[in-house]
Structure 1
Amino acid sequence: MQFILIDKILELNKGSDITAIKTLSIAEEYLKDHFPRFPVMPGVLMLEGLFQTSAWLVRESEDFAHSMIIMKEARNTKYAGFVSPGQTLTIRAAILKQDERTTTLKATGEVDGNTAVSSKLLLERFNIKDRKPDRASLDAYAVRKLRQQFALLYDQAADVLNQSFDS
């Protein structure tokens, strides 16, 4: 099962920073167990939201040059609050440094202006063909699907995608 843990990208400055949101719905299946009388977003999913937001920043900053972005490390992760149904987690991530394979980012999630989660993330980016040359065709497919998902999350990307179809 794949969780998409951001609803919308509000702002993106290539090579710099991103802001996205996730509004927690009581309909989220995992809230039945976490916790029945006090439903809150699990900390690991808050961290996944930080990762997903950060990965979109890296992808767009490099014009989707890599089909794969994985989280290698999460350091100094701190949980300072809960996200309850109806609340919106505002996620911000900023690039601290980048080399040919990895990107380090500082990411935070806030609810009503109060920090709920923060972490320093190390992301690795690569193409499938770099590790499995016989599966090189998967890179183009993955990038195409990622661009489609990005267009749904970020209105400005949807405008560009629609213009390319209109031409």
Structure 2
Amino acid sequence: MRFRQLDRITELVPGERITAIKALTLSEEYLEDHFPRFPVMPGVVMLESMFQASMWLIHATEEFRLPIVTLKECRNVKYSDFVQPGDVLRVEAQILKHDETSTTLKTQGFLEDGVAVGARLILERYSINERHPARGDADSYTRRRLIEEFRLLYPKRAATA
């Protein structure tokens, strides 16, 4: 099961930055438990939204060359506001450092009133085929699935590609 924490990519400059949005609705299943009388987006889900935006920025930057992008480290995570049903979280990520296998990004989540969350993320990327040769050509399959999902999130890019 995949937990998609972004609804749409609104701006993308490969190699530099990305902006995406997540509209929080009361129908999110986890809100039944977090917290029933004061439903708010859990901090870890806010962090996941920033990770997912960062992942799409890396894929767009490298044209999906390495299909697996994982969160290696979170630094300086700061929460400053609650995200409640009806709110739209605008997530921004900016590349600070990018080398052969890892990327460091400055990420923030904004509400209308200002910053709700911020963190510095370090993401690692790799090829499935190189790490697990017995899995056949898993990279090609994964790459195709990622591109399909990316086109749904960012139809502007799909129209120009």
Shorter-normalised TM-score: what interval? over 0.9
2:38 aligned residue: 38
What are structure 1's unaligned runs of at least 5 residues?
162-167
Aligned residues: 161
Identity %: 50
The match for 1:125 is 125
Q: How does 1:1-167 map to 2 (within 5 A)?
A: 1-160=1-160
Give, in whole Å, the separation in 2 of the partners of 1:72 and 1:99: 14
1:97-126 deviation per Cα after TM superposition (whole angstroms, max 9, x unaligned): 011110000000011141111000000010
Question: Secondary structure at 1:18's aligned position in 2?
Answer: strand
**Offset, 1:159:** 1.4
Q: Which amino acid aligns with 1:87?
A: D
- Listed as ranges, the gaps of 5+ residues in structure 2 are none
**How much does 1:160 deviate?**
4.2
Q: Which whole-Å deviations, capped at 9, do the CAs of 1:61-85 have from their partners, x for residues lacking one?
A: 0000011000000000011101100
Task: Give the structure-1-normalised TM-score.
Answer: 0.94
Specify the SS of the correspondent of 2:138. Answer: helix
Scaled by the length of structure 2, the TM-score of the pair is 0.97
One-letter amino acid of the structure 2 residue matched with residue 67 of structure 1: P
Please provide the CA RMSD for this pair: 1.0
Can you list the C-alpha shifts for 1:131-154, whole angstroms capped at 9, x where unaligned?
111224110000000000000000
4+ runs deviating over 2 angstroms: none
CA distance in 2 between partners of 1:147 and 1:108 (Å): 24
- Counterpart of 1:165 in structure 2 is none
> Secondary structure of the equivalent of 1:140?
helix
The separation in 1 between residues aligned to 2:56 and 2:118, in whole angstroms, is 17
